[in-house]
Amino acid sequence: MTSTLEADVMLRAERLAKSFVLHNQGGVTINVFDGLDLEVRRGECLILAGPSGAGKSSLLRSLYANYKPQSGSVLVRHEDRVVDLCAAEPYEVLEVRRRTLGYVSQFLRVIPRVPTIDLVTEPLTTRGVDPAEARERAGTLLTRLRIPEALWRLPPATFSGGEQQRVNIAMTFVQDYPILLLDEPTASLDVDNRRTVTDLITEAHEAGAAIVGIFHDAEVRAAVGTRSYDLSANRQAA
């Protein structure tokens, strides 16, 4: 099957439905969204809006193929072709994540024993960037995100919440992903770091990235958003 996307469209969800069956709660079903359509173009930053529980994080995870929607498709422009992540083989999903689709979750999934600088350098070296240059770029980004150099050799497991979040952001933003999915990346940051991350996001979409993001902070939303999508309308009664 070949799917197509209009020239500028980087990601399109079509008729997406996601529900959860709570087996340990007597099989109660939560219908999170149904018939959901959205698309994001190059250079856009689409804000997912809606109250707590509206399904914003579930949608982002579905776009990243972390959650498997019950129906619909998630079409992603990957290099010179279009991949439907809902139908793709696991190896294809990994390939799309490696090169095309970056995801920043609210919390760092801590990787034991790997030094911070290696976590941020590795995505570049695996893409063939010269190791010295990769380390240089990783260091520049960690400095910009105010991670003290004394911490670079340590694994982030013992870092503060905000430090872990900034390492998480660095691991994604060190690459120039064509598509970025951001789930409250500024939630645990102070004002200065929030501004730095706001700048990184703005630079990314001005350079052409297509971004879908969830931001609690109204100032951040106003600074980075080019359009918003309200999920409340898609919430289905259980």
Binding site for ligand ATP (CB under 6 A): 20, 30, 32, 50, 52-58
**Is position 198 an interface residue for Mg ion (rule: CB under 5 A)?**
no
Residue count of the chain, please give it.
Answer: 238
Q: Which residue is nearest to Mg ion (CB)?
A: 57
58 binds, among Mg ion, ligand ATP, none (CB under 5 to 8 A by kind): ligand ATP
Torsion of CA 183, 65, 125, 134, to 10 degrees: -20
Alpha helices for 3-45 (secondary structure H):
none
How far apart CA 2 and CA 7 sit, in angstroms, is 15
Smallest separation (angstroms) from ligand ATP to the CB of 184: 7
**Chain CA centroid to CA 119, Å:** 17
- Per CB under 5 A, the segment of 27-35, 52-60, 189-197, 198-206 that binds Mg ion is 52-60
Contacts with Mg ion in 57-96 (CB under 5 A)? 57
When CB distances are held under 5 to 8 angstroms depending on the partner's kind, the choice from Mg ion, ligand ATP, none that residue 35 binds is none
The CB-of-106 to ligand ATP minimum distance in angstroms stands at 8
Among residues 104, 116, 106, 103, the alpha carbon closest in space to that of 158 is found at 116
Return the number of the residue (151 or 187) whose C-beta is nearest ligand ATP: 187
| CB of 212 closer than 8 Å to CB of 56 | no
**How far apart, in whole angstroms, are the C-alpha atoms of residue 204 and residue 220?**
15
Residue 59 or 174: the one with the smaller Cβ distance to Mg ion is 59
Burial category of 80 from C-beta neighbours within 10 Å (exposed 0-12, middle 13-18, buried 19 and up): exposed
Looking at the Cβ atoms of 163 and 184, the one nearer to ligand ATP is 184
The nearer residue to ligand ATP, 20 or 162, going by C-beta atoms, is: 20
Collapsed DSSP state (helix, strand, coil) of residue 94: helix
Contact partner at residue 52 from ligand ATP, Mg ion, none, CB < 5 to 8 Å by partner kind: ligand ATP
CB of 44 to Mg ion, least distance (A): 21
Q: Is-contact 204 182, C-beta < 8 A? A: no
Which structure tokens are listed for 123?
């995505």
Q: Which is nearer to ligand ATP, 191 or 238 (CB)?
A: 238
Question: Where do contacts with Mg ion occur on this chain (CB under 5 A)?
Answer: 56-57
